[in-house]
Chains A and B, each alone.
Chain A
Amino acid sequence: MNVKYIGLSEINGPLVALENVSGISYDEMAEIRLDDGTKRLARVVEVDKGRAVLQVFEGTKGLSLVNTTTKFEGRSMQLPLSTEMLGRIFNGAGKPIDGLGDIFPEKTGDINGAPLNPVMRTYPRNYINTGISSIDALMTLIRGQKLPIFSGSGLSHNKLAVQIVRQAKIADENGQDFAIVFGAMGVKNDVADYFRRSFEESGALERVVMFLNLSNDPIIERILTPKVALTCAEYLAFEHDMHILVILTDMTSYAEALREFSSSKGEIPGRKGYPGYLYSDLASIYERAGIVKGAKGSVTQIPILTMPNDDITHPVPDLTGYITEGQIVLDRNLDQTGVYPAVSVLPSLSRLMKDGIGEGFTREDHQMVSNQLFAAYAKVQDARSLASVIGEEELSDTDKAYLKFGDLFEKHFIDQGFDVNRTIDETLDLGWQLLSTLPKSELDRVDDEHLEKYYSAEKAAQYFSEN
C-alpha cells in the first residue's frame, strides 16, 4: 500500500485521528513522517469506515494537523528476530540503541503472539535451583513457570532478581543453551544500569537481550516492551531450543502506561481507573511462559512489580496473582531489620512446586519440610501477636518455642545474604535443624519415618549455639 495521507484531523495525548482513509485494518502499523524529516511509528487502535485512530509510539509532541504524512504498512507490528540479538540492547519498541547498528533478521515475528493451545503445552516439572533457601524450599521455581516478585518501592527486588539470574542453574543437565531476556518498563536509568553491570560482572552479558524503556521514554512504547521482549524470548526458546529466563520490571509502570493510554482513548475505566480489560491484557503477557510440546526450550518469567503503598490488593498485584503461578512477596518490616532477601514467607507461594519437587526432583522429604515450615511459621505469627498483648513471660512453653523458632528461622533461613548460594540439600537440612528446635509433637505435617530420620533436638541446639 503506497498511499500517503497528508495531515491529521485530531490530536489527543498519544492518539491521532485521520479522516477519509480506506483499506486500513485493525492493529496495523503506520509510519508518520514529519516535515522536518523525522519519522515516528504508530499503530491503529480503532477503525471506523473512513476514520482511523492511531497511537504514536514516540509521542505526539511537535505534531500538528498539517505537518505530517502518514503511510500505512498493511501489517501488524513485527519484530525482526535473530540469534544476533543476544548481547544487544534495544529500546522498548525493539530498535537497537547500543550503536551497533540494525540486526540482520532471520525472520520477523508478530509481537502480539498467538495464544498457546493448552493441549500443546507440556506441564512444567523441572525445578530451577536458585540457591536461595526461602525460594528453593518454600516456593520452588519451576522451568516454564511465571513467578512474579511482589515488592515495594525501595525494597531489594532488583538485587534478588540479579541473584536469581546469577545463581540459577537454568541450563539443564546436558548444558543446553540458556539466555536471559530483560524487559525494563519505565524504570529509572540507574536501575537499568544496575542490571547491565550485574549481568556484566556475572559474565552473562553476551547471553542477555535487553529491552529498555526508561521512565522518561514514551508510554506507548512501554506498552509494547513486554510484548517485544516475549516475542524475542519465544523465538529463542521455541526455534533455537534455548532455556529463556524473562525478567520484566516494573509491571506496575506498564499497567499505569496502559491506564494513561486507555483514558486518552476515552474508555470507560474500571477499578482505580485501570481499563476493564487489564486482566486480559496482563494475561496476554504472563501466559506467554511455558514449554511447548516437542520443543526443547522453555520460557520462564519473573515479572517484578512494585505494589503501590505496599498494598497487595491493589489491582495490579491482585490481577497478577490471579494469572501467575504463585508469587514471591517481599516484606518491608523484614527489610528494615536488615534481612536479605526480605521474603515474606506466608503470602508467597509457588503453584507448580508440588509436581516439581520430591523424589526424583529434589529430595523425598521436601514437600513435608516445606509444609511444616509454613505451618510452624504461621503459628509464630500467632505467638508474636499474643506476646505483644500479654508479654513474652506469660506465654506457654510451646508458644515460647515458636517465638524462638521464628527468630532463628528469620535469622538463618530467610536472611541468607547476596553471596551465599545453597544447594537444595543444604537448604532442606537447615529446615530440619530449625524444625528440630520445636517439640516433636508439634510437627504434624511430617510422617514418623522422616521424623525419625531427620529430627534431632540435640544437633539443632548445638548448631544454633555455634552459629
Chain B
Amino acid sequence: MDVIYSINGPVVKVADTKTFMMQEMVYVGDKRLIGEVIRVETDFTTIQVYESTTGLKPGEPVESTGAPMSATLAPGIITNIFDGIERPLRTLSEMSGAFIADGANIPSVDTQKEYKVDICVKEGDRLSAGDIYCTCPETPVVEHRCMVPPLSKGGEVIWTAKNGYYKVNDTVVKIKDSAGRVTELSLMQKWPIRTPRPCKNRLPIDRPLVTGQRIVDTILPIAKGGTAAIPGGFGTGKTMTQHQLAKWCDADIIVYIGCGERGNEMTQVLEEFSELIDPRTQKPLTDRTVLIANTSNMPVAAREASIYTGITLAEYYRDMGYHIAIMADSTSRWAEALREISGRLEEMPAEEGFPAYLPSRISEFYERAGYVETLNGKEGSVTIIGAVSPQGADFSEPVTQNTKRFVRCFWALDKSLAYARHYPAINWTTSYSEYTEDLGAYYKDRVADDFMEVRQEISNILVEENTLMEIVKLMGADVLPDDQKLLIETARVVRVGFLQQNAYHKDDTYVPLEKQYLMMKLILSFYEKSKNALEHGFTAQQALSLGWADKLVKMKYDIPNDKPELFGDYELEMRADYEKLIGGAAE
C-alpha cells in the first residue's frame, strides 16, 4: 500500500511508487480526501488534494482509483449547486451542517430519484458514439438526452427497457459491438474533466447570443459559441454584468461558475434565480441553471478544478443539442490557484510568479468554446464569458493580457464610469468585439436592413466625442463651434440614454433587439434634425432648447418594451417641433 510521505498545504507527496498515473484521481489519508496526481518522478509522486489537509499525517494510506478526475453526467445536474469537484452542496449540507466537512464522498446527482424515461431506440438498431438512446424531462424546460459515450465503438441494440420510471444507475439499453462485447447503458456516464468532449465538426459562428443589454447587443456583440472576457478592478461591476447576462441571455442552459469569489454572491444567485421568471419559458431561471460554487475560502485545488468541471458539464449538454453560456467568475482566481499550487511544487515562476504554462492553460480553456455539429448531427454551442480581476486594476498584468489573446470579445470595465454609477461600466473605447462582422447578416435579416449602418453611426458619434473631450477637458465646452456642441450633446444622449442601462428597472433590465434598434434610430433622427436646424442658421442652444435630448435620455423608461409603436409617435412629434422652429423663423 502507498502511504503519504510529506504534506505542504494542499500538496502531498508519496515516495517510492511507480504505479500512479498522471492526472489520476486518488483517495488520500484515512478520511479519504479526494486528490489528483499532478507529477510523477522516480522518487516521488505528487498529489494535489481538493480538501483541507489539516490533520493529515505521513504514513496514512493513498489509494489509487485507476481513473482520471471525472465529472458525473446524468439527469439531476440542472438546478443543482456543486462545489469545484462536482459534489452537491445541498446534499453536503444535509450531511455535515452549515460548514463543509472533509472527506465526504457522495454521488454528484441523486441516485434514488426516478425519472420518466422514454426509450427512443429499438432492438436491432445500430448506435454509434453520441447517438441518443433515451430522453427524460430533467426540469420543466430541459429535456435530458442520454447519449452513447463519445469513445464507445457503438454497436447493435440487443435489449431495451420499457418506457417508465428509472433511476440514474438503472440499465435501460444494452448494445453489442462487432467483437461481441455487451455494454450496458444507464442514464449516467462519466467524462474526464480535463479532456474536451469530441464533436463532429466546428461550425462557423454567425448567430449572436442575444442578451438584452444594449451596449453588448449593438456595440460589442458576442456570438453563440464565442468567447468574451470582462476585465475590471474591484467595484466596477463584473459580477453584476455577469448576473445580468446569465439572467437574460438567450442560451438554453447557463453554467455559472463562482470560482474563488464571495459566498454571499452565490447565495444571491441562488435566491434571485429561483424568483426570476425566464421571459421565454415563463419558468424560474433556476430551471435552466447549474451553479458551481467554489468560494474563496474553499480549498484552492478544487478552485483550479472548478473551471474544468463547469465546462465539461456545458459540453455534455451541448452534445444534446443545446446552446450553453458559461459565466466564469473569476478566471483570475483560477489563475491564482494555479500559481499557488505551482509555488508549492517549487516550479520556476514566470511573470509575476505565475507559472510559465499559464497562457497555454488559458487558451486550452477558451478553445473549448465553439459552435459545433455534435456526434449525433445536432447543432449546439458553448459560449464562454470569463470575468478577469486584474491586480490593482492594471490591464497589463499577465492574466488579462493572456486572456486578451485568446478571446474575441473584450468588455473592459472602467473605474471612472463605475464611480459615476454608469452601469454597465463597459468602456466603449477600449473594448472591442471581433464578432461584429460575422453577425452582420443575422442583424440584417432579423432586425433591420440598415442595422449595421445605424450601429456604425452611433459608434462614430462616440469616437468623435472621445476626440473632442480632450479639448473640452482643457478649455471647456463653451469654446467649441456649434456643430461640435451638438455632437457632444448627442453623444451624451447615447451614453446616458442608450449605453447606460438600469438593471433594477423592470423594462430596462432586458431590452429586445427591436427596441434597441428603434432607440438608436430615434437618436440619429434627433441628431439629423438638430444639424438641419443649424444649417438654417440656428445656434446649437436654440436647437437643443426644444428639450428633445432630455426626453430621449428618458425614453428607455418612458417607452415600455411592449409598445414599440410609441417610437413612431416620438418621431412625428419631434419632426413637428423642429419644423415649427424652422418654419417660425422663415415667417
A interface residues with partner B (beta carbon < 8 Å)? 22-28, 46-50, 75-76, 112-124, 144-145, 238, 267-271, 275-277, 279-280, 283-284, 286-288, 290, 292-295, 312-315, 318-319, 321-323, 325-327, 346-347, 349, 351-352, 354-355, 367, 371, 374-375, 378-379, 382, 385-386, 389-390, 394-396, 399, 441, 444-445, 447
Known: A48-B58, A293-B98. A315 touches B391 (CB 8 A): yes
Q: Is B116 an interface residue (CB 8 A)?
A: no
How far, in angstroms, from A94 to B389 measured CA to CA in the complex? 36
Q: Is B565 an interface residue (CB 8 A)?
A: no
Are B9 and A322 within 8 A (Cβ)? no
Chain A residues with CB under 8 Å of B15's CB are: 49
Known: A112-B54, A323-B262, A378-B420. A122 touches B267 (CB 8 A): yes
Partner among B98, B271, B340, B420 whose Cβ is within 8 Å of the Cβ of A120:
B98
Chain A residues with CB under 8 Å of B422's CB are: 375
A154 to chain B, nearest CB (A): 23
Q: Is B279 an interface residue (CB 8 A)?
A: no
A117-B98, A280-B300 are known contacts; what are 15 more A-B pairs with Cβ within 8 Å? Answer: A27-B55, A46-B6, A48-B58, A112-B54, A118-B270, A277-B300, A280-B340, A283-B295, A287-B296, A314-B392, A379-B420, A396-B476, A396-B477, A441-B550, A447-B557
A276 to chain B, nearest CB (A): 4
B422 to chain A, nearest CB (A): 8
Partner-contacting stretch, out of B85-93, B146-154, B356-364:
B85-93
Are A115 and B475 within 8 A (Cβ)? no
**Residue from B58, B99, B299, B477 with most neighbouring chain A CB atoms (10 Å):** B58
Q: What residue of chain A has the Cβ atom nearest to residue B58's Cβ?
A: A49
A412 to chain B, nearest CB (A): 21
29 contacts between A and B (CB under 8 A): A25-B57, A26-B56, A27-B55, A48-B6, A114-B52, A115-B263, A115-B299, A116-B99, A116-B297, A117-B96, A118-B293, A119-B90, A121-B264, A123-B268, A268-B343, A268-B346, A276-B336, A280-B260, A283-B297, A294-B98, A313-B391, A315-B392, A321-B235, A352-B264, A371-B421, A378-B420, A385-B473, A395-B476, A444-B496
How far, in angstroms, from A25 to B53 measured CA to CA in the complex? 9
B99 to chain A, nearest CB (A): 4
Are A386 and B476 within 8 A (Cβ)? yes
B28 to chain A, nearest CB (A): 11
B220-236 CB mask vs A (1 if < 8 Å, else 0) is: 00000000000001110
Are A279 and B333 within 8 A (Cβ)? yes
A40 to chain B, nearest CB (A): 21
Are B93 and A326 within 8 A (Cβ)? no
Q: Is B525 an interface residue (CB 8 A)?
A: no
Are B6 and A121 within 8 A (Cβ)? no
Q: What residue of chain B has the Cβ atom nearest to residue A45's Cβ?
A: B8
Known: A47-B7, A114-B99, A117-B93. A313 touches B392 (CB 8 A): yes
How far, in angstroms, from A22 to B8 measured CA to CA in the complex? 16
Are B504 and A367 within 8 A (Cβ)? yes
Q: Is B164 an interface residue (CB 8 A)?
A: no
Partner among B56, B89, B473 whose Cβ is within 8 Å of the Cβ of A118:
B89
CB-CB contacts below 8 Å: B262-307 with A: 262-264, 266-268, 270-271, 293, 295-300
How far, in angstroms, from A284 to B553 measured CA to CA in the complex? 45
How far, in angstroms, from A321 to B258 measured CA to CA in the complex? 17
Known: A114-B101, A122-B267, A277-B340. A270 touches B58 (CB 8 A): no
Chain A residues with CB under 8 Å of B264's CB are: 121, 123-124, 144-145, 290, 325, 352
B405-427 CB mask vs A (1 if < 8 Å, else 0) is: 00000000001100111100000
Are B99 and A113 within 8 A (Cβ)? yes
How far, in angstroms, from A399 to B511 measured CA to CA in the complex? 33
Q: Is B5 an interface residue (CB 8 A)?
A: yes
Chain B residues with CB under 8 Å of A321's CB are: 233-235
Are A283 and B353 within 8 A (Cβ)? no
How far, in angstroms, from A3 to B126 measured CA to CA in the complex? 68
Are A318 and B391 within 8 A (Cβ)? yes
Partner among A26, A347, A447 whose Cβ is within 8 Å of the Cβ of B419:
A347
Known: A46-B6, A117-B89. A322 touches B270 (CB 8 A): no
A311 to chain B, nearest CB (A): 8
Known: A321-B234, A379-B420. A46 touches B55 (CB 8 A): no
Q: Is B59 an interface residue (CB 8 A)?
A: yes
B1-31 CB mask vs A (1 if < 8 Å, else 0) is: 0000111110000010000000000000000
Are B550 and A322 within 8 A (Cβ)? no
Chain A residues with CB under 8 Å of B266's CB are: 118, 121
4 closest residue pairs by CB, A with B? A313-B392, A283-B296, A378-B420, A114-B99
Chain A residues with CB under 8 Å of B98's CB are: 116-117, 120, 238, 292-295
Are B5 and A49 within 8 A (Cβ)? yes
Are A375 and B394 within 8 A (Cβ)? no
A405 to chain B, nearest CB (A): 14
**Residue from A50, A396, A444 with most neighbouring chain B CB atoms (10 Å):** A444
Partner among B260, B268, B271, B391 whose Cβ is within 8 Å of the Cβ of A283:
B260
**Residue from B7, B233, B342 with most neighbouring chain A CB atoms (10 Å):** B7
Chain B residues with CB under 8 Å of A325's CB are: 262, 264
Chain A residues with CB under 8 Å of B99's CB are: 113-117
Chain A residues with CB under 8 Å of B562's CB are: none
How far, in angstroms, from A313 to B235 measured CA to CA in the complex? 13
Chain B residues with CB under 8 Å of A347's CB are: 235, 415, 419
